[in-house]
Amino acid sequence: MALKAETHPIATSNDVVRVRQIVRAATIQLKFSLVEQTKFVTATSELARNTLEHGGGGWMTLEMVKNGLREGIKLTFRDNGPGIADIELALSEGYTSAGGMGLGLSGSKRLVNEFEITSELGQGTTVIVTRWK
C-alpha cells in the first residue's frame, strides 16, 4: 500500500544528484541503517544514470509503502528511450552497453529487496525497485 508518492524528472546530471538526495532523505525518514541507506542510494544513482544516459531522460517516482508491519520505499524509473533488446543479457554480471563497468542493472538488483524491469524496443524501459526496512 502506497502512503505517499512523488514524481521527479531526470533530464540532466543535476537531476541524478537531486533524486539521489531525495532518496537519501526518505531512507533517513524511515530510519534505515547507514548500510541500507548506502545500498539504496547507490542503486538509485545507477538507475537514474541509466534513465538519463540510455533512455534519454525520464522520471523517477518515489513511494513510501507499507506491507503489514513492514515499511519501505518503492522507486519507479521510466524512460521513453530505445528500450533494451535483451533484458537477460543486460542483467548479466559485467555486461555493459556503454563501455562502463557493467555494474548498473545487475549491481542495482543486488542492492534492493525487490527488482522488476520491463522494456519494449522503441517504447522505453521501466525499472521498479523496493527496499524494505
The average pLDDT across 91-118 equals 79
- From residue 12, alpha-carbon distances to 19, 21, 53, 56, 57 in Å are 11, 15, 9, 9, 7
The average pLDDT across 104-112 equals 90
How far is the C-alpha of 80 from the C-alpha of 59, rounded, in Å? 10
pLDDT of residue 1: 66
* Grid cell for residue 109: 538488483
Nearest to 79 by CA among 111, 31, 118: 118
In this predicted structure, the answer to whether residue 114 has a pLDDT above a threshold of 90 is yes
The average pLDDT across 64-92 equals 92
pLDDT band at residue 53 using 50, 70 and 90 as cut-offs: very high
On average, the pLDDT of the chain sits at: 91
- From residue 90, alpha-carbon distances to 13, 107, 117, 119 in Å are 22, 11, 11, 11
**Residue 56 sits in a domain of what CATH number?**
3.30.565.10
- Domain span at 128: 2-132
The average pLDDT across 22-34 equals 97
pLDDT band at residue 91 using 50, 70 and 90 as cut-offs: confident
pLDDT band at residue 107 using 50, 70 and 90 as cut-offs: confident
pLDDT of residue 3: 66
Number of domains making up the chain: 1
Say whether 45 sits in a helix, a strand or coil.
helix
Residue count of the chain, please give it.
133
Percent of the chain residues topping a pLDDT of 70: 90
pLDDT band at residue 75 using 50, 70 and 90 as cut-offs: very high
